[in-house]
Amino acid sequence: MHSDAFDRYHFAESRLHRLDPRVKVSLTVAFILGNALLPDASWLALGLAWFLLLVANDQSRLGLWFTFRRSFLALPFALAALSAIFSPLGDPVFSFSVANITLTVTDFGLVRFAGILIRAWLSVQAAILLVAVTPFPDILHALEHLRMPRLLITIISFLYRYLFVLTDEVLRLLRARAARSAGMTGQKSGGGLFWRAQVAGNMAGQLFIRSYERSDRIYNAMLSRGYTGNLRTLHPHTMKPSDWRFLGLALFALLLTQLTGWIR
Amino acid sequence: MHFSPAPLHIPDGFLTLVISLVFWALTALAVGTAISKTNQSLGEKQIPLMGVMAAFVFAAQMLNFPVVGGTSGHFLGGALAAIVLGPWAGILVMTAVISIQALLFQDGGLLVMGANIFNMGILTALIGFGLYRLSSRVGKPVRLGVAGFAAWLSTVASALLTALQLWLSGTSRLEIVVPAMLGVHLLIGLGEAIITVAALGFIEQARPDLLSAEKTASQGGQGWVLGGVFVSLGAVLLSPLASADPDGLEKVAEDLGFLGAGQSAPYNILPDYTIPLLGETALSTIAAGAVGALLALGLVILIGRSLRRAQG
């Protein structure tokens, strides 16, 4: 498998791509935090937040609707919020009954449901844009600069590095299983459900041992190359004046969004 | 790629800020402790070991098995990681997996990542390792049986806690979300249990040194057994209560002042989005917003400080 199979980075020459990753990570978190802070039914502010997102999309030169097209990831989870429309607070809008249970939809519930969906949808778009304009190692580097525990960041960067290798391992295991599981069309093949789950379990055990032993080999290889517990980087990121300017401008826009939401 | 979002990863926007920050604080505490504990036991070796083990959990989640009509059983791996690697290492591994799922694949949000790590990494380690260590000195069939039960219960408990968080955030109605989440995960947990047991059996045959009773005992003390049993009992008792008598639970939460804090947070301390002193003016609302934002910022800084101290 190619090492970029999991990568979500989209190359382009743009202002957002050149921006210091620390600025991008902080602004993404600030944007999501801002969405969470907005009171319910602050439609104008949520609209403004979407507008900011569109501006960011445009600035990234990936296309105005880049994140919109990829933003339906969180949709299945919306089911969990659906029950909010039956909130007992607020005035009933209409009610219907299913199997002897009367359900009443209230205006407060509808507002709450819409608020949750819009916030989730905006937040996921911000996260999508972040990984699209920033190479993943740069994001991790930014997190390290932002005082996340270095050890955790190093573990995550190792995870990222070996994701492809172990995925290849899984694909080999799956291919081996498929090759040994011949079946005739129309006839029942393989054992029962329990047996199939057990085979998957054995594969997980096999994968575990291969991974464990691989980590031993990796450690030995690292030691023989002079590893002392620290990973070094050739990319010391430095904040340029233009990065500070962008950060200030964007934070001001986010603050404006908050004010729009809170004044009524 | 073969990547399908799992139903337990909460996206941003579904939990209120207070619930998100509370669980971030709990998670930061646990992860900070885990970092210093594994630092003592493994030293510099932990980085390649845990990085590759995290990649293992991520890759193992692709090992699906056909159940019926196009659906397939999945594997979360929290209990297995905690049993084989020890609870502290298990927590770090699951933290790395959930972080990369949120950061790279947007599977689960960033602000709610603390809650996701707590549900799928810390709770599963507590139940998985706690119950397994309880039985680490008895015969193999009983031990594997306990491990299977622990894997099943850890899946169900994560689902229950996720449902309760959604309810406390005012996102879902208790009487709907708890039975729905539990119903689905009672079944998903069975797949998790079978895979965990089969994987443990395989590892024990191929590398018995990885699962010896001494090794298990050295990875975590009796406190894990106590915590694991306590949390398991809590999950077992709370599940039927929450699904059969949601009104009762709602009443308890209300009596404890829990529900109000969750649902109208973070503005509860700032009634009606205004600061009492300033009256109901726009200025008052702005000031209330600023105070709320500052409070959140302060909490985040505090967490960051404690993490840095735990690391150094």
Residue A205, both tokens: 């055990």
ipTM rounded to 2 decimals: 0.86
The highest-confidence range among A124-128, B168-172, B304-308, by mean pLDDT, is A124-128
- pLDDT tens figures, A22-81: 999 999 999 999 998 888 878 899 999 999 999 999 988 888 888 888 887 667 777 777
Chain B interface includes A9 (CB < 8 A): no
- The mean pLDDT of A136-160, rounded to a whole number, is 88
Q: What is the reported pLDDT for A55?
A: 92
The answer to whether residue B186 neighbours chain A at the CB level (below 8 Å) is no
Contact present, B165 and B115 (Cβ < 8 Å): yes
DSSP string, A177-245: HHHT----TTS--S--HHHHHHHHHHHHHHHHHHHHHHHHHHHHHHHHTT--S----S------HHHHH
Distance between start and end Cα atoms, chain A: 54
Residue A156, SS3?
A: helix
Whether the pLDDT of residue A131 is over 70: the answer is: yes
Residues of chain B numbered 98-127 and touching chain A (CB < 8 Å): 99-100, 102-107, 109-111
In this complex, do B199 and A80 lie within 8 Å of one another by their Cβ atoms? no
Q: Do B96 and A29 touch (CB under 8 A)?
A: no
Ranking B84-93, B106-115, B301-310 by mean pLDDT, the lowest is B301-310
Q: Which of residues 37-96 of A touch B (CB under 8 A)?
A: 37, 39, 73-74, 76-77, 80-84, 86-87
pLDDT-based confidence at residue B299 (cuts at 50, 70, 90) = low
Q: How confident is the model at residue A144 (pLDDT cuts 50, 70, 90)?
A: confident
Q: Over the stretch A72-108, which tens digit does the pLDDT of each residue have?
A: 766 777 777 777 787 777 777 777 776 666 777 888 8
In this predicted structure, the answer to whether residue B115 has a pLDDT above a threshold of 90 is: yes
How far apart are the CA of A19 and the nearest CA of chain B, in angstroms? 18
**Cβ contact B199–A205 (<8 Å):** yes
Q: Is A31 left (phi over 0), alpha (psi -120 to 50) or beta?
A: alpha
Distance CA A154, CA B50 (A): 10
Strands A92-98 and A101-106: antiparallel
- For A155-211, the pLDDT digits (tens) are 898 888 888 888 888 889 888 988 887 777 777 666 777 787 788 888 889 999 999
Say whether the peptide bond before residue A92 is cis (omega within 30 degrees of 0): no
Stretch 153-172 of chain A: residues touching chain B, C-beta under 8 Å: 154-163, 165-167, 169-170
Contacts of A173 in chain B (CB under 8 A): 63
Question: Quick check: helix, strand or coil at residue A97?
Answer: strand
Handedness of CA B190, B193, B194, B195 (dihedral sign): positive
B177, B166 in Cβ contact below 8 A?
Answer: yes
Torsion of CA B294, A126, B56, A152, to 10 degrees: -30
What whole-number distance in Å separates Cα of residue A80 and Cα of residue A95?
A: 20
For testing the chain A interface, which of B103, B267, B305 should be mutated: the one with the most A CBs within 10 Å?
B103
Mean pLDDT of chain B: 77
Q: What is the mean pLDDT of residues B253-279?
A: 46
